[in-house]
């Protein structure tokens, strides 16, 4: 039942600001046959899928918002390997026209709406115990796939050496903390840097708990802006400009917010000249359809970012 981690490719980022500050910048984007299981998603699900078999479960139960990359990645992955899955969705009422929810349903995921007060219990041990009793045949996977199993999957990435030499700083967008923790564990000789995309004062503690006492990580949390899922015109324009300049697609919720932060840090001389930077692109481009659906980006923006 084990799923294999996908290969990845190194993409050199060229930009006048990098030349000015004498920096080398590589982007790593794990390859995927599906837009829905891209970036770090399959890595974070790999050992959860294995654990379904180890614990003699039939399928997976997990959590996410109405436009969750994790929910749809779980749905598609479970469909591919032929196991059932259930998604508990943070919403008052399921919108079947929502492109993310629609993709989940098409992949066979059972969707159950949880109002926000219920959803806040998703990390409460007593509530999770009750939930496990209600769904005894499901492995409960935390929101975002962030657990020791998810961390171990990310830790298998080998990004310590780039085509131009040793990685000095390994950077990623950080929401639930699992990816940053996994990178820190898997790359003990590299500095790992997380750009927070969510306002969460508990996030450093979560990363510390997941990173197995590694001290080679740092979280920057002053580029969140208006909060998770929110962005302004300047960030959207940055994503559009970046696509035009590099042909690489970003979205303004995770990867675009983190990439804009990196270029701001570069302008502030945060990185020493000669530093070899690596950015792990965590996918999530399926979320652009949700932004279009909600009218947060135009059809023209969507087409430019996706094509």
Q: What is the pTM of this model?
A: 0.94
Residues 196, 259: one domain? Answer: yes
Q: Identify whether residues 91 and 155 lie together within a single domain.
A: no
Task: Mark whether 204 and 285 lie in a shared domain.
Answer: yes
Query: Based on the domain organization, do 181 and 269 belong to the same domain?
Result: yes
pLDDT at 146: 94
Query: Would you say residue 287 lies in a domain?
Result: yes
Of 115, 145, 175, the last residue of a domain is 145
Cβ contacts of 242 within 8 Å, gap of 6 or more: 248, 250, 256, 259
Residue 3 is predicted with a pLDDT of 46
Specify which residues 28 forms β-bridges with.
10, 280
Q: Is residue 298 part of a domain?
A: yes
120 and 163 inside one domain: no
Say whether both 295 and 167 belong to one domain.
yes
Domain identity same for 257 and 276: yes
- Looking at residue 35, its pLDDT comes to 83
CA gap 40, 298 in Å, rounded: 27
Residue 74 lies in a domain: yes
Residue 280 in contact with residue 214, Cβ under 8 Å? no
* Same domain as 279, residue 156: yes
Measured over the CA atoms of residue 58, residue 150, residue 130 and residue 95, the dihedral's sign is negative
Residue 2 lies inside a defined structural domain of this protein = no
| Residues 181 and 285 grouped into a single domain | yes
Contact assessment for residue 156 and residue 167, using Cβ atoms and an 8 Å cutoff: no
What is the rounded distance in angstroms from the CA atom of residue 259 to the CA atom of residue 279?
8
Number of separate domains in the chain: 2
Asked if residues 180 and 172 have their Cβ atoms less than 8 Å apart, the reply is yes
> Do 30 and 89 sit in the same domain of this protein?
no
- What distances in angstroms separate CA 212 from CA 150, 158, 169, 170, one per listed residue? 13, 18, 19, 18
Say which residues have a Cβ less than 8 Å from residue 301's Cβ, sequence separation at least 6. Answer: 236, 240, 292
Q: Helices 99-106 and 69-81 meet at what angle, rounded to 10?
A: 20
Question: Do residues 176 and 251 share a domain?
Answer: yes
Residue 1 lies in a domain: no
Whether 3 maps to a domain, the answer reads: no
What is the number of residues in the chain?
307
| Residues of the chain predicted below pLDDT 50 | 1-5
CATH number of the domain that residue 277 is part of: 3.40.50.1100
**Domain interval for residue 193:** 8-35+148-306
Among 91, 118, 145, identify where a domain stops.
145
Task: State which of 112, 145, 178 marks the end of a domain.
Answer: 145
184 and 287 share one domain: yes
For position 135, what pLDDT does the model report?
97
């Amino acid at each position: 039942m084990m799923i294999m981690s996908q290969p990845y490719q190194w993409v050199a980022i060229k930009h006048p600001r990098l030349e000015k500050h004498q920096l080398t910048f590589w982007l790593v984007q794990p390859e995927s046959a599906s837009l829905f299981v891209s970036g770090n998603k399959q890595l974070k699900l790999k050992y959860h899928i294995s654990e379904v078999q180890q614990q003699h479960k039939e399928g997976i139960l997990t959590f996410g918002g109405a436009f969750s990359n994790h929910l749809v990645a779980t749905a598609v992955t479970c469909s591919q390997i032929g196991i059932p899955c259930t998604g508990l969705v943070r919403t008052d009422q399921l919108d079947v026209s929502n492109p993310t929810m629609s993709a989940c349903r098409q992949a066979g995921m059972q969707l159950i709406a949880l109002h926000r007060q219920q959803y806040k219990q998703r990390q409460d041990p007593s509530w999770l115990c009750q939930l496990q009793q209600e769904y005894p045949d499901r492995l409960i996977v935390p929101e975002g796939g962030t657990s020791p199993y998810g961390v171990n999957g990310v830790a298998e990435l080998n990004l310590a050496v780039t085509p131009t030499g040793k990685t000095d700083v390994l950077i990623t967008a950080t929401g639930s903390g699992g990816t940053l923790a996994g990178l820190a564990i898997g790359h003990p000789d590299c500095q790992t840097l997380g750009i927070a995309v969510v306002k969460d004062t508990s996030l450093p503690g979560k990363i510390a708990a997941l990173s197995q006492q590694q001290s080679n990580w740092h979280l920057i949390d002053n580029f969140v802006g208006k909060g998770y899922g929110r962005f302004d015109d300047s960030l959207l324009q940055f994503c559009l400009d970046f696509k035009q300049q590099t042909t690489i697609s970003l979205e303004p919720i995770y990867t675009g917010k983190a990439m804009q932060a990196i270029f701001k840090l570069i302008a502030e001389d945060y990185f020493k000249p000669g530093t070899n930077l690596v950015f792990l692109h965590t996918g999530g481009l399926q979320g652009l359809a949700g932004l279009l659906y909600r009218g947060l980006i135009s059809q023209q923006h969507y087409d430019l970012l996706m094509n």
